[in-house]
A and B are shown apart, each in its own frame.
Chain A
């Protein structure tokens, strides 16, 4: 069975090593033979072979550096090269996480400032940088809500309301925190259906409502025009409001969630603040909270331990909030992402950060205005930083959003997000971000228009797409049935 590139286990030769290591400069100690393994089934490949292997693999990927990546909800903006250089400075890259606080004043200062800036942008009183990704920020937020109610003597409050348009991490988070999800329907505007919300909050479940998770702007890219009512209804029932801040690229310096009266929110630094997605991660999911939840933040967080004196700078150090939900990962968060976000905010500053949002929203609305001439736009109003189209045509039933997506690859574009949010049939969620030039947006529009034309004239072109990607469509059923999860050569013969 041939692939595009042989597996690392299928190249190399016995005895080959890809790195030049020193001889021991100390006397050799006796190794405890009875405790040692006799078999280490790793590849045996030379240095240049390894380089070529991974370079060839890299060529099989699509990436932001290569082209337009309008993947909705993921904010695939340019990842500044400056930030990559900064992350590799020895003072950051070679800093041990358990160094004394006095030996990490640079890092602590950076984290302190970033906490402050993220607090300012979101309108929250305090921020913890520890969560490793958006989903972990959600988990921290829901645990905070849970423990807050416990401390109020209201431990029976264990229902979190989640709109049916929510990202999958929202309901999964609630379950993980040991609480219950109650799903809310959306109305024909894509907003939360207020009658259902009232029914949930004012009916017999009233004193079991712990809170609600909601994404702003919604996962449809729309600013919920009734957001005030939603927040009030939940607060009146005694619940707290969680905002999924994955879409903050639509809100920076436009509105502060804390001022709207949200109680807690997470950021995705790997979306809004340009830290690279890395082919799946790492991320960083800072959480911000108001005064009510401040003491519950996951720790440690950075604070000033000693005010500055004549000699200069204050002393920064860690504190664990009084009623903290605890640590949610080892050490202090994905610091490598914090420093990139810091550099990013520093570039735009007070007068520039709003432009990020303004131009992200301009680009999205431009695409929306152009594409609504060819595709069905379920919610015809101004959008935020993204919008959803229906990826199907009444006259050609066999063509689905997936086929349009695959065909876009042939035109050299990454497809939009498919089939999310779940409430729109054949959803294509399109998010261009502010860093794209008009020429590329126009080229994307043209490709989408040609594909719509092809769907009518030659649907097979779409159904069999992609034609020019490294591989054609994959047999996902076979992957599950055969379940080959690692190279045979890697599994020691004496297995289970």
Chain B
């Protein structure tokens, strides 16, 4: 019976103790007409067979183990040191529940506190929560915080069109039941145009850094304008880029959110990922999700505990600002181990490798006939490439040569038909890049 350990003799003893003749009698309260339906499921399988089937299914996918990959657009193929997975596979971490009993959960609690600390370090904020579901839902939760901070007196949310299209969709899904207006993302212009939309009715303005096109916008000019009208500046940041570029905190952000997946979390076809959420401490009481704080035990020993609990759904119920309960704890642990290993110098080195390789690729591709790289702005590890043919066609040709090409921007932006968002990370060798250039050149 697979993972059920009972012997027939034990089952009998247990039934006798309960005082029933069979297990099925325990279900008498279920209406008889509906009790014990047959299920149309496949037959059971042994461990060996399931393992073989899982392998076969996994191989029916075009994955970065078999292909050189140049696709990012919100999910990134980075190098993950072996240590990360080994720590993650410790049953003490992955088979534990939420640390509601702190005396026997100090491992999870301290690791999460350290995760919060390292996210503060990267973002330049002074508080972070223990995680949200992903970057998109973190942004949606930031909207709630901005509405709370501005006491629900303001109804306008400004989102840049250069925020990940799916993140903007998620914000709209989350807030469809509220009387607010979400604007800004139908435009195409520079972040500066967003400033003109600011007014006394604006609760927040959000931009992405680097933006969805991989570029570093001039956001230093935004903070003053946003704060002048009493709104919050929210920055959606790729934490990997923060290894090199000025922190959102330095640039005046009030809330920094984003996708933590680049920090030690595998692609996994889109999840589980890691929504990180960092904020200025003055607003920390408004945020959703679990937060770990330092305290002492009865002997005066330093220890950690979930804190500011009365914000959460189990205590505040219908007055809670979010319903989040289960989060992405284990992915926060990945990020924690990853950042600890990389540390101050290693992470900077990884950031530089991304920058150099992406610029090498951009430079070589830009020289090809028919292709043009948008070099108008500084970029990190992604750039916009205009192609001589439809992106889908180009990508089909690349795939035949063992290369997963860039993301087709025409899917989300009408004016970017035949434009591809190319991502190059530290995992792409010079040989892979040269082959990409060669194959693209042959298609031109």
Contact = CB atoms under 8 A, between A and B. Distances in A.
Bind each other:
yes
A461 to B, nearest CB: 14
Contacts of A86: 50-51, 54, 58
A92 B54 CA distance: 9
Nearest to B51: A82
Nearest to A477: B295
B382 to A, nearest CB: 13
B154 interface: no
A132 B345 contact: no
B270 A174 contact: no
Interface stretch (B30-38, B185-193, B198-206, B365-373): B30-38
Nearest to A180: B318
B343 A43 contact: yes
B272 A409 contact: no
A332 B270 contact: yes
Interface string B326-340: 111111110011011
Interface in B238-261: 242-247, 249-250, 259
A347 B337 contact: no
Contacts of B308: 480, 483
B58 A54 contact: no
A92 B44 CA distance: 23
B177 A146 contact: yes
Interface residues of A, number: 209
B44 A347 contact: yes
Contact of B87 (A54, A59, A494): A54
B173 A328 contact: yes
Interface string B32-54: 00111111111111010011011
Interface string B308-349: 110011111111111111111111110011011111111111
Contacts of B170: 326-330
Contacts of A29: 355-356, 359-360, 363
Interface string A462-496: 00101001111111101110111111011110111
A62 B5 CA distance: 22
Contacts of A16: 343
Interface string B365-408: 00000000000001000000000000010010001000010010
Contacts of A222: 29
A276 B352 contact: no
Contacts of B315: 168
A354 B332 CA distance: 35
Contacts of B44: 346-352
A255 to B, nearest CB: 5
A57 B112 CA distance: 11
8 closest residue pairs by CB, A with B: A178-B177, A91-B58, A280-B329, A331-B270, A65-B91, A278-B330, A97-B270, A106-B60
Given A42-B344, A354-B39, 4 more contacts: A168-B312, A280-B112, A478-B295, A485-B307
A44 B105 CA distance: 25
Contact of A483 (B97, B293, B318, B404): B293
A106 B61 contact: yes
23 contacts: A2-B302, A17-B346, A18-B81, A18-B341, A22-B353, A24-B356, A26-B360, A28-B356, A57-B106, A76-B97, A82-B50, A87-B268, A91-B59, A167-B325, A168-B323, A278-B329, A279-B108, A350-B43, A351-B44, A436-B5, A472-B103, A472-B298, A485-B127
Given A135-B326, A471-B303, A331 B271 contact: yes
A94 B267 contact: yes
B313 A168 contact: yes
Contacts of B331: 278, 281-282
A71 B101 CA distance: 11
Contacts of A471: 102-103, 106, 297, 299, 301, 303
Given A355-B1, A486-B113, A63 B91 contact: yes
B99 interface: yes
B326 A281 contact: yes
Interface in B74-128: 74-75, 77, 81, 83, 85-87, 89-99, 101-108, 110-114, 116-118, 120-122, 124, 126-128
Contact of A176 (B45, B323, B342): B323
B13 A438 contact: yes
Interface string A1-42: 111110111001001111101101111110110011100111
B243 to A, nearest CB: 7
B61 A169 contact: no
B296 to A, nearest CB: 5
Given A42-B118, A106-B61, A369-B19, A346 B83 contact: no
Contact of A487 (B40, B117, B346): B117
A124 interface: no
A347 B43 CA distance: 8
A80 to B, nearest CB: 6
The CB with the most chain B CB atoms within 10 A, among A21, A104, A179, A363, is that of: A21
Interface string A208-251: 00000000000000110101100000000000000000000000
A210 B34 CA distance: 26
Contact of B61 (A5, A74, A105): A105
Contacts of B18: 362, 365-366, 368-369, 382
A179 B28 CA distance: 36
A109 B57 contact: yes
A98 B114 contact: no
A135 B313 contact: yes
A177 interface: yes
Given A337-B272, A420-B314, A484 B293 contact: yes
A126 interface: no
B266 A178 contact: no
A256 B326 CA distance: 25
A431 to B, nearest CB: 11
Interface in B118-168: 118, 120-122, 124, 126-128, 130-131, 133-137, 164, 166-167
A105 B59 CA distance: 9
Given A82-B50, A438-B13, A98 B343 contact: no
B133 A382 contact: no
Contacts of A277: 94-98, 326, 329
B36 A354 contact: yes
The CB with the most chain B CB atoms within 10 A, among A227, A414, A496, is that of: A496
Interface in A416-473: 420, 434-438, 464, 466, 469-473
Given A326-B169, A346-B45, A60 B110 contact: yes
A353 interface: yes
Contact of A438 (B10, B98, B302): B10
B27 interface: yes
B357 interface: yes
Nearest to A29: B359
Nearest to A18: B341
A361 interface: yes
Contacts of B126: 485-486, 491, 495-496
Contact of B133 (A66, A89, A107, A132): A132
A115 interface: no
A110 to B, nearest CB: 5
A489 B344 CA distance: 12
A272 interface: no
Contacts of B426: 21-22
Contacts of B323: 135, 138-139, 168-169, 172-173, 176
A96 B4 contact: no
A163 interface: no
A345 interface: yes
